[in-house]
Amino acid sequence: MADEVQRVFVPSAVEEDGNSLALGCFSTEETAWQVLRTFLKKSDQMLLTSASVVVWDIDVVGEGGITVLSTMECKDCPVCGRRTFWMDLENFSALCHGDACAAWVEESTVEPGIIDCGWPPVRFLKQTQNIEEAFKELFKIGDQMKAISRVESIPQNQTQAMLDEFKAQNPDLE
């Protein structure tokens, strides 16, 4: 009876300058993913370009001993704007690993050809016809959040002065 091939799961990330950061070597895929996801939450503090989880079969010579489970690229999040938006282009999905964001895009598992996107903090969920539309929807949410935060940071007396100035310049609107 032949021995079972042992496997190890290796999460890693690549920095902008090409340096690879190995995050460990684990006996289960679940642990490797947990370690990688935890690491990706801090990706806005580093200059990362990609990340992956690779499976190595023990005692196998050559390329047959390695399987890439996932390779992801790092982008700026369309909602929060931080560099924490990780996209898996092979099995199309994208998720922001930033604190309190979690914006996401993925192909629908129920309706072929439909793209789902969402932003959990406001329970936003939308279905679109293509990836571009999904990203436009997330950028709209991001723009709304930025606009709200700018308005809230303006002192009350300044907002009244801005409103008075606008009314003075546009008397026809009253």
Give the pLDDT confidence score for residue 118 in this predicted structure: 93
Task: Using the predicted structure, report yes or no on whether residue 145 has a pLDDT greater than 60.
Answer: yes
C-alpha–C-alpha distance, residues 140 and 173, integer Å? 27
Taking Cα atoms as reference points, which of 105, 102, 98 lies closest to residue 40?
98
Among 117, 125, 84, 126, CA closest to 101:
84
Q: In this structure, is residue 162 part of a structural domain?
A: no
Q: Is the pLDDT of residue 162 over 90?
A: no
Residue 71 and residue 100 in one domain: no
- Over range 130-149, report the average pLDDT: 88
18 and 51 assigned to the same domain:
yes
In a domain, 34, yes or no: yes
Ranges of beta strands (E only) in 65-164 are 66-75, 85-88, 93-96, 104-107, 115-119, 124-128
Q: Which pLDDT score is estimated for 155?
A: 65
Domain assignment present for residue 2? The answer is yes
Whole-number pLDDT of residue 1: 42
Could you list the residue range(s) of the whole structural domain that residue 146 is in?
Answer: 93-152
pLDDT at residue 135 in the model: 93
User: What is d(CA 143, CA 149) in angstroms, rounded to the nearest whole number?
Assistant: 10
Let me know whether 58 and 101 are in one domain.
no
Say if 172 falls within a structural domain.
Answer: no
CB 40 within 8 Å of CB 33: no
Residues 16 and 67 in one domain: yes
The number of distinct structural domains making up the chain is 2
2 and 58 inside one domain: yes
Task: Say if 173 falls within a structural domain.
Answer: no
Helix (H) or strand (E) holding 39: helix 29-40
The answer to whether residues 6 and 69 belong to one domain is: yes
Give a yes or no: residue 163 inside a domain. Answer: no
**Higher pLDDT among residues 90 and 84, named by residue:** 84
Would the pLDDT of 88 be above 70? yes
Confidence of residue 134 (pLDDT cuts 50, 70, 90): very high
